[in-house]
């Protein structure tokens, strides 16, 4: 019999980042359109927010739409954008009730104007909340984030506001979209793919990685607990010795 996990005894990662993958395959297995997988995936993402907070996770960052996902069909991209639109509005009440602070990372300037507005509204309305820090990556690509950060940094150097000698890791980090977040302790990817697909390349330099074959729409609190348990077995040395 499998040993029962006693979550109370575990060291809980402060920041968990998730690459939610496998929606399309989940739908295909059920002979449904890919969009049905995304709809179910969105429900799971909302549930995982509550579950993460229950476990004591303080920061949850999810990959919802990458800079590369525009390559998908117009229908699929449109549906994903509509799901995000709906979330930005429907979650206002729930975030207030659950004290969740929402942030969106990624290049928002390429999103439809109404979506940008509802993102700004949700960020603003939740900014004083002290519960879960929930970050959604939309039109996010790690390389794109780094290039945008370099441009902001270069402008400061050009204007004489930043000395080249004062550029260090902390200074560079302050230009990233994630500048208010700690680095992820644990990165989870569902659906069996063993790659990071341009998600938080700078930030995950010392994260632990947990890969599972479970497809995102089937992911639940038990699976999250398994990932946390795996994290507990890792020996994080950060380059030192123990």
Footprint of ligand IPE (CB under 6 A): 19-25, 63-66, 69, 80, 191, 193, 195, 197
Q: Does 185 bind Mg ion (CB under 5 A)?
A: no
When binding is defined by CB under 5 A, the residue of 18, 19, 21, 184 that contacts Mg ion is 21
**129 exposure class (CB count in 10 Å sphere: 0-12, 13-18, 19+):** middle
Of 69, 82, 98, 173, catalytic: 69
Contacts of 218 (CB under 8 A, 6+ apart): 22, 26, 44
Q: CA separation (Å) from 83 to 64, 74, 91, 213?
A: 10, 14, 12, 25
CA angle 167, 171, 175 (to 5 degrees): 120
Integer Cα distance of 118 and 122 in angstroms = 6
Of 6, 11, 21, 50, catalytic: 21
- CB of residue 146 to ligand IPE, shortest distance in Å: 17
Binding-site partner at residue 20 among Mg ion, ligand IPE, none, CB < 5 to 8 Å by type? ligand IPE
Integer Cα distance of 236 and 206 in angstroms = 8
- CB of residue 80 to ligand IPE, shortest distance in Å: 6
Integer Cα distance of 207 and 231 in angstroms = 10
Contact region with Mg ion (CB under 5 A), list: 17-25, 97-105, 123-131, 231-239 = 17-25
- Inter-residue contact 49 to 100 (CB < 8 Å): yes
Q: Which is nearer to Mg ion, 21 or 144 (CB)?
A: 21
Q: Which is nearer to ligand IPE, 13 or 22 (CB)?
A: 22
Integer Cα distance of 144 and 242 in angstroms = 36
- CB of residue 3 to ligand IPE, shortest distance in Å: 31
Q: Which is nearer to Mg ion, 21 or 185 (CB)?
A: 21
User: Please, what's the largest Cα pairwise distance for the chain?
Assistant: 65
CA angle 102, 107, 111 (to 5 degrees): 85
Instruction: For residue 99, indicate whether it is catalytic.
Output: no
- CB of residue 67 to ligand IPE, shortest distance in Å: 9
Number of residues assigned to the chain:
242
Instruction: For residue 177, indicate whether it is catalytic.
Output: no
- H-run or E-run covering 122: helix 113-126
Q: Which is nearer to ligand IPE, 46 or 93 (CB)?
A: 46
- CB of residue 129 to ligand IPE, shortest distance in Å: 25
Residues that bind Mg ion (CB under 5 A): 21
Active-site residues, by number, are 21, 69
């Amino acid at each position: 019999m499998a040993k029962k996990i006693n979550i109370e005894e575990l060291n809980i990662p402060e920041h968990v980042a998730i690459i939610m993958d496998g929606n399309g395959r989940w739908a295909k297995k059920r002979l449904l359109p890919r969009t049905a997988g995304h709809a179910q995936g969105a429900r799971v993402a909302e549930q995982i927010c509550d579950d993460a907070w229950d476990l004591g996770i303080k920061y949850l960052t999810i990959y919802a739409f990458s800079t590369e996902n525009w390559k998908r069909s117009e229908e699929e991209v449109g549906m994903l954008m509509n799901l995000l639109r709906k979330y930005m509005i429907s979650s206002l009440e729930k975030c207030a009730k659950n004290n969740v602070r929402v942030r969106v990372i990624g290049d928002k300037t390429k999103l439809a104007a109404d979506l940008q507005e509802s993102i700004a509204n949700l960020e603003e309305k939740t900014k004083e909340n002290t519960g879960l820090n929930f970050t959604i990556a939309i039109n996010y690509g790690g390389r794109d984030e780094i290039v945008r950060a370099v441009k902001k940094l270069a402008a400061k150097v050009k204007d004489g506001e930043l000395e080249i000698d004062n550029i260090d890791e902390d200074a560079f980090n302050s230009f990233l979209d994630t500048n208010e977040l700690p680095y992820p302790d644990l990165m989870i990817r569902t659906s069996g793919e063993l790659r990071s697909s341009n998600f938080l390349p700078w930030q995950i330099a010392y994260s632990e990685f947990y890969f599972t074959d479970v497809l995102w729409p089937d992911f639940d609190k038990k699976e999250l607990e398994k990932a946390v348990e795996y994290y507990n077995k890792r020996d994080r040395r950060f380059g030192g010795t123990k």
